Amino acid sequence: MRFAVGVVAVGLLVFVPAGSFGYTAGWVLMGILFAPMLLAGIVLLVFKPDLLRRRLKAREEQAEQRGVIAASGLMFTAAFVVAGLGFRFGWIGFPTWAERLGAVLFLAGYALFAEVLRENEYLSRTVEIQEGQHLVDTGLYGIVRHPLYAATLLLFLSMPIVLDAPLSLAIMLAYLPIISRRIANEEQVLEQGLRGYRAYERRVRYRVIPFVW
């Protein structure tokens, strides 16, 4: 049901402002966004249903995180609507090679996301400490403390490129302060409730991008 609602919602946000189903870049995004998502959902349902259940949990207990989610929703809505309007009115776009590169980067972000799911079975969608949770500090977590957000950064910033919408890319840059706020609050929770996390922070210095942030 959530998958179907997501398909319809994104379709409406992209194609209604575009005023046409001839927005090819919109169909490309729909394909590379939802086809892997459906496949991943089926795999998790069969092999890791508990992880899928945690990923579907959407109710945040942290007031700080509810504000982050609201800001993210506004950002996505604005970016998709502006992309559709850009197609309708012929606003400035990206060269074809950039759109193709954007699709490659988007799929690379999905692959990174899948690896994070494989490495961390406690990967909840909400900020919380789960019963029996232990610190994961190997693999991608030995490089940056939040590889999931590295994956989402790659996914979200490549979306407007796939959609051929430079103005939407400018809107999506708002994800940087949004994710920074989410991480700051999340790390406070982890420092207080997850054994060894403070030492992990000293050992793995970078949060999202190696040698940068």
For 189, the domain range is 2-203
Residue 209, domain member (yes or no)? no
Residue 48, domain member (yes or no)? yes
Nearest-angstrom CA–CA distance, 153 and 82? 20
Structural domains of the chain, count: 1
Give the global pTM. 0.90
Residue 208, domain member (yes or no)? no
43 versus 175: the higher-pLDDT residue is 175
> Which tens digits make up the pLDDT trace of 94-125?
999 999 999 999 999 999 999 998 898 777 66
State the CATH number of the domain containing residue 172. Answer: 1.20.120.1630
In percent, the amount of the chain with pLDDT more than 70 equals 92
Alpha helices (runs of H) in the chain, residue ranges in sequence order: 2-18, 24-47, 49-56, 63-89, 96-119, 147-162, 166-172, 175-193, 197-203
- Tokens at 171, concatenated: 């809107």
Residue 211, domain member (yes or no)? no
Residue 15, domain member (yes or no)? yes
Residue 104, domain member (yes or no)? yes
Note whether 20 and 28 are within 8 A (CB): no
Residue 210, domain member (yes or no)? no
Q: What is the mean pLDDT of the chain?
A: 91
Residue 160, domain member (yes or no)? yes
